[in-house]
Amino acid sequence: MTEPEIVVKLGGAQGVDFSAICLDAMELLKSEVRLVFVHGGSAEANALGEALGAPPKFITSPSGYTSRYTDRRTLEIFLMAVNGKLNSLLVEQLQRLGVPAFGLSGMDGGLLQATRKDAIQSMENGKRKVIRDDYTGKIERVNAALLNLLLDAGYLPVVAPLAISEKGEALNVDADRAAAMIAAALKVETLILLTAAPGLLRSFPDETTLIRTLPQNRLSVALEAAQGRMKKKVLGAEEALKGGVRRVVIADGRVSSPISAALSGNGTTIQ
Ligand code: ADP
């Protein structure tokens, strides 16, 4: 394979400009580049949950990570919002630009195989609680052959962050880590995480403290600076680099041509 391969994760936070990202993809595909999109969708799922009378619930692990609590009903709402709506709308936007987008979730063809976290610990009012009906997964394997099949045929795969368990259960997975695992499985050159920030900020939310480049061995610095969900991006970056990805760029998804900008050094480049 000689064409550069890029995995792009589209953040779901407000301000991330999907149409600018799709336009950029259209331009990039004119040269021989192979692109894979992975998107999140928590905001969309939260909104649908509110509308259906099932507002989102979050849990905080003893080590301080916050994640969505996904009982069966929440999982079904997640499917509707993320795979049903968001993935389809992205495919629609790309198709309108003449980009041969192929929408699929990590369940399709066993693209993302995960183990279900069958007992997770949650901190509530300073006390540890064990939750057993959560449909969240940790990705173990990526069916890279399936993605290569689509890429070889000229499609741009657009992946929704769901996975399938060994028992055949649908699982909600973290989109940043899904993108990282896909990037590592395909051994791509570049993983780009587009978000509603200029990159990784040393002192959030001060945008003048943007970290431009970071060697992999200084990721612990990044982990300290990152708050909340930004931590997952840094962990994803680490996983991707360990898996053989050459560089990870955390970059602004709110600008024009966000993918090209990230490729030319916009944002935080970790390598
Ligand atoms: P996405 O939907 O793109 O995955 P999230 O909202 O989950 O994004 O996480 C990214 C957000 O994390 C940024 O928009 C920013 O508000 C926040 N954040 C926390 N710490 C930092 C940091 N050190 N640098 C940049 N952003 C940070």
Q: How far apart are CA 219 and CA 84, in angstroms?
A: 36
Residue 89 C-alpha to ligand 1 middle, in angstroms? 23
Residue 2: what pLDDT?
A: 64
Residue 185: what pLDDT?
A: 98
Residue 40: what pLDDT?
A: 94
Does 13 sit in the ligand 1 pocket, CB within 6 Å? yes
What is the average pLDDT value for the chain, to the nearest integer?
A: 94
Residue 73 C-alpha to ligand 1 middle, in angstroms? 27
Overall fold of domain 5-270: Carbamate kinase (3.40.1160)
Does pLDDT of 191 surpass 60?
Answer: yes
Atom of ligand 1 nearest to the CA of 225: 23
pTM attached to this predicted model: 0.94
- As given in the structure block, the two tokens for residue 214 are 């970071």
For a substitution probing ligand 1, which of 9, 10, 44, 204 has the most ligand atoms within 8 Å of its CB?
Answer: 204
Residue 232: what pLDDT?
A: 87
Task: Give 114-133 pLDDT, tens digit per residue.
Answer: 999 878 889 888 899 999 89
Give residues with Cβ within 8 angstroms of 6, minimum separation 6: 28, 33, 34, 35, 36, 188, 189, 190, 191, 192, 259, 263
Residue 3: what pLDDT?
A: 80
> Please, which residues bridge with residue 137 across strands?
116
Residue 124: what pLDDT?
A: 87
Q: Whose CA is nearest to atom 3 of ligand 1?
A: 11
DSSP class of residue 74? H
Phi, psi of 178 (to 5 degrees): -60, -45
Does 227 sit in the ligand 1 pocket, CB within 6 Å? yes
Q: Whose CA is nearest to atom 23 of ligand 1?
A: 226
Residue 197 C-alpha to ligand 1 middle, in angstroms? 6
Which helix (H) or strand (E) element contains residue 183? Answer: helix 175-186
What average pLDDT does this structure show over 126-154? 95
Q: How far apart are CA 95 and CA 71, in angstroms?
A: 34
Look at strands 247-252 and 268-270 and give their pairing: antiparallel
Residue 222: what pLDDT?
A: 86
Residue 220: what pLDDT?
A: 87
Residue 12: what pLDDT?
A: 77
Residue 166 C-alpha to ligand 1 middle, in angstroms? 32
> Please, which residues bridge with residue 170 across strands?
164
Does 200 sit in the ligand 1 pocket, CB within 6 Å? yes
